[in-house]
Amino acid sequence: MLQQPILPEHGLFIDGAYVPATSGRMFEKISPVSGSVIAKVHEAGREDVDRAVRAAKAALSGPWGKMTVVERAGLLQDLSRAINDRFDDFLEAEIADTGKPRSLARMVDIPRGGANFATFADMIKNLGAEFFETATPDGGRAINYGVHRPKGVIAVISPWNLPLLLMTWKVGPAMACGNTVVVKPSEITPHTATLLGEVMNAVGIPKGVYNVIHGFGPNSAGEFLTQHPLVDGITFTGETRTGEAIMKQAAVGLRDISFELGGKNAAIVFADADLDKAVAGTMQSAFSNCGQVCLGTERVYVERSVYGEFVSRLKKGAEGLVLGGPDTPGVSMGPLVSEEHRDKVLSYYRLAEEEGATVVTGGGVPQFGDERDGGFFIQPTIWTGLPDTSPIIREEIFGPCCHIRPFDSEEEVIALANDSDYGLCSAIWTENLSRAHRVAPQIEVGLVWVNSWFLRDLRTAFGGSKKSGIGREGGEHSLEFYTERANICVKL
């Protein structure tokens, strides 16, 4: 009789140590590639969350709170280097959780995961402050200057699509500003947040500064964390409905929030665009990471004179994608992250056909004849012919799919792009510089790319309008959220 393999267990990371959950509950981590169980994860109960928050609170007045900005920034630089030293460990953890191509995680996820700490370490050392000289009623003078204090304990609730990158995008600036954090990674992708605890200890980050709790949202770790009265700020990336629920909980005690939520992003392709660039860019924005990118393109508007050619070329590109596991030769697209998420995306695939969409390509589930048939793969899909009122056009699908529609004028396409409850980002493809500058400011989103996609300078503002979020991250915008500003007035 074959003996069942012993699965690894992921405990909680609280006050500098890995500990089991006092709840006694664990849940299974499923491989997106094969559908098999690859680990067991401890689910934090309310008592565990309380321990983590109190450890973070205590650390604020310990060695961490007494460090100078330069000392703290130096530790974060060490942390960035230590992540790169363990690059392969983080890479294996990331692809085990997500199933994404190794080449993608190697190029994007892990390098950015480490860079987020180095970037904000540099920024905090150069953060300026206000200074004013004021006349006083008695004819004298006073000086006023601003100071920044850490906000306190930050609840970091991070998503599953870019687990390390988006978690450190929040933890990096929070720690740079002197805060402590309690991280609740997605229950679907627990590995890299857990592994980061080892690196924190190795570089000498004081205990309690970084804590990790595992679990789900309602009536589990997520809700226990956002309800905790000692949490001073909540930062969340994820679905809009979840953001609404967190916002209600944050209202008790008036805790500050920073939300990066859903998107239904538009790409606009003008007839004067370089179609090679436009097709390649849209291939990336629609199908990269199996479409599981908040910045991804699900609505494509193409000027009528080049519409047919664009559809034909994007179809050819989609059908040329190689689906497979992280190490499949030539792989360009991995699986969706979970069976539940694939069921959701497939429900939209069925709905599109029911509504009479023309399925240009895709629309189903690929068959491999091996263990991948137990995973959560899905075909890249392109539709045309749906009305602007269709849920396919209105609702975020978060899969490798897009709908392409022709347009005839600038005014028309601006109105179409803005006809959305969301306002995260957009991509404009044109070789007309005047048109680019004319159209881009009229698109009601937080970020517009011209002739590119996913090109980021970490110093710039990132975030959405409408139902796509509250606040901005990146550069000084992140530092603003993670600090409390005070004015000091001195009469001379």
Name the residues annotated as catalytic: 260, 294
Secondary structure of 414-450 as H, E, C letters = HHHHHCCCEECEEEEECCCHHHHHHHHHHCCCCEEEE
* CB within 8 Å of 180: residues ≥ 6 apart: 56, 57, 59, 60, 64, 152, 153, 154, 208, 209, 210, 211
273: phi then psi, degrees, rounded to nearest 5: -70, 155
CA torsion 484→487→488→491, rounded to 10°? -170
By DSSP bridging, strand 425-429 and strand 265-269 are: parallel
Q: Are strands 358-361 and 381-384 parallel, antiparallel or unpaired?
A: antiparallel
Query: Is the separation of the CB atoms in 346 and 365 below 8 Å?
Result: yes
Q: How is residue 313 annotated by DSSP?
A: H
SS3 for 331? Answer: coil
**Cα–Cα distance for residue pair 318/401, rounded to 1 Å:** 10
Q: Is 137 exposed, middle or buried (0-12, 13-18, 19+ CB in 10 A)?
A: exposed
- Which residues make Cβ contacts (< 8 Å) with residue 305, sequence separation at least 6? 271
